[in-house]
A and B are shown apart, each in its own frame.
Chain A
């Protein structure tokens, strides 16, 4: 099956620093990737749609200057949490559909961000 990886799997940082999370599709090209965040014991909330070669589309309430998304290649999307604060601590998960026209998405293993 298709594989999506994320790096790092966990990160601890100080308040005010920026953290970059990578999402890679390992065996397929992904023109679109999705970024979700998940608070403890809650569901996944879509943050933004990452589009290769163009600007990301953010969901209502998600600050685009806070969560910078770059989809520079067909296999890599990055999410940078800028000037992180403790309330940004969460589990961040990316996903990608393998082919256009298919419905199944493949999810990365997630990145646990803890901001002290």
Chain B
């Protein structure tokens, strides 16, 4: 069943602006991951943040995690047209060795040149 819920469902911004997407989940997690999917393609892993971490950076990406609120955010700074894609959060349950991911509904980001 779906656990992660992203908002907004769709986001349209101008190139150069920052894009923020949020994800909420319901159960305890081992880690939370963000993925990107170009239309009709597979998923690309962007960043993973563990349950004991609060913030993580990777290039133009910044992810935060608030386990007390069961929420995470993904910030893409200085967006580019090539960032246009759907972004999904996925939660990895606390059970050891599970590896199963539960995906949110995704945010469709459109970056206008």
* Residues of chain A having any CB pair with chain B under 8 Å: 6, 32, 34, 36, 41-46, 49, 91, 93, 95, 97, 100-101, 103-110, 112
* Residues of chain B having any CB pair with chain A under 8 Å: 2, 30-31, 33, 35, 40-45, 48, 50, 88, 92, 97, 99-106, 108
Say what secondary structure dominates the interface of chain B. strand
Tell me which of A91, A100, A105, A109 contacts B97 (CB under 8 A).
A100
Task: Find chain A residues with CB under 8 A from B42 CB.
Answer: 6, 93, 107-110
Q: Which residue of B lies closest to A106 (CB)?
A: B45
Q: How far is the CA of A107 from the CA of B103 in the complex (A)?
A: 13
A103, B105: Cβ atoms under 8 Å?
no
Q: How far is the CA of A108 from the CA of B45 in the complex (A)?
A: 11
Task: Find chain B residues with CB under 8 A from A49 CB.
Answer: 100
Q: How far is the CA of A34 from the CA of B98 in the complex (A)?
A: 11
Say what secondary structure dominates the interface of chain A. strand
A43, B2: Cβ atoms under 8 Å?
yes
Task: Find chain A residues with CB under 8 A from B99 CB.
Answer: 32, 34, 97, 103, 105
Q: How far is the CA of A110 from the CA of B44 in the complex (A)?
A: 12
Q: A43-B88, A49-B100, A103-B50 are in contact. List 13 more A-B contacts (CB 8 A).
A: A6-B42, A34-B101, A36-B103, A43-B2, A43-B105, A93-B42, A103-B30, A103-B33, A104-B33, A105-B99, A106-B45, A107-B42, A107-B44
Q: How far is the CA of A44 from the CA of B30 in the complex (A)?
A: 20
A46, B102: Cβ atoms under 8 Å?
yes
Q: How far is the CA of A45 from the CA of B105 in the complex (A)?
A: 10
Q: How far is the CA of A44 from the CA of B33 in the complex (A)?
A: 14
| Given A34-B99, A43-B2: A104 in contact with B88 (beta carbons within 8 A) | no
Q: How far is the CA of A29 from the CA of B104 in the complex (A)?
A: 28
